[in-house]
Amino acid sequence: MLKKKRQAAIIEALIKEESVSVSDLAQLLGVSSVTIRKDLSELEQANKLYRSHGKAILINPFTFNRSVIEKEKMAPEQKDAIGREAAKLIDRDDSIIIASGTTVHALARNIKPIHRLTVVTASLQVSVILSQDECNDIIQLGGMVRHSSLSVVGQYSKSILENCSFSKLFIGVDGIDFSYGFTTTDMREAELNQQMMRAAQKVIVLADSSKFGRRGFAKIGNIEDIDMIITDAGVNPNIVNQIREHGIDVVIAQ
């Protein structure tokens, strides 16, 4: 097989599986592992894949911090669909935590409280959105404002949560990796999210399909710490199966 066709076959395999080992590619294409490694090196230099520990990944698994304005423009329809599904989980006179991120902004826009709703949130924008309805009792966490996310972090935020209990935590993430866990790009935000998890009976992750296979700088928790993931219809069916194998409920927002 010519190199051009072989490399096209590698990309095709990655599109189907998202990650493939060097040995599996060598067996699939009938060439040596050395040849595959050379192909992967060339494809990585062309920004067509990412190499990691003896395998190839279709996308760079490491994510970086972006401004909330930039994030709002990414997958807006998918985030709105996720927000609608998440809002259905809120019960009458519920008490919930909403973390930060543009996906939870979509949740806030879709919340129609039943009687009264108590919300603790780190997100300034979530507070602004929910404050438009008098049925929402909002506790805005205090602390240092992250300009990129328009949310607060720090000890003042964590201390409010220490003596409270909530039915659900709705949390957005920057990455979900089955072997590593779920992550964000800021260590202070990860620490606050961990405190939120301790205060909530159920952890619900809101993540569009682009977040799977990605890693942020700071780990929030292990996959087993999640009770439910709400994602969009673009998610790979293999990923859905992996989530369910971990005993996590999956909701696919249409």
Q: What is the pLDDT of residues 178-197, one digit of tens each?
A: 989 999 988 999 999 999 99
In a domain, 63, yes or no: no
CA distance 2 to 73: 40
Structure tokens given for 57: 């990944």
Q: For residue 149, what is the domain's CATH number?
A: 3.40.50.1360
75 shares a domain with 44: no
Domains: count for the chain? 2
Banded pLDDT at 17 (limits 50, 70, 90): confident
Residues 144, 80 share a domain:
yes
In this structure, the answer to whether residues 208 and 244 fall within a common structural domain is yes
Identity of the highest mean pLDDT range in 32-46, 72-86, 199-213:
199-213
The range of the structural domain enclosing residue 8 comes to 3-57
Residues 127, 193 share a domain: yes
- Is there a single domain that holds both residue 43 and residue 106? no
Q: Please indicate, yes or no, whether residues 46 and 107 belong to a single structural domain of this protein.
A: no
Are 126 and 199 part of one and the same domain?
Answer: yes
Mean pLDDT, the chain, integer: 89
Shared domain check, 235 and 123: yes
The CA distance from 97 to 162, in Å, is: 13
Residues 48 and 90 in one domain: no
Are residues 149 and 204 located together in one domain of the fold? Answer: yes
Q: Decide if 53 is inside a domain.
A: yes
Q: What is the pLDDT of residues 89-144, one digit of tens each?
A: 999 999 999 999 899 999 999 999 888 999 999 999 999 999 999 999 999 998 88
152 with 34, same domain: the answer is no
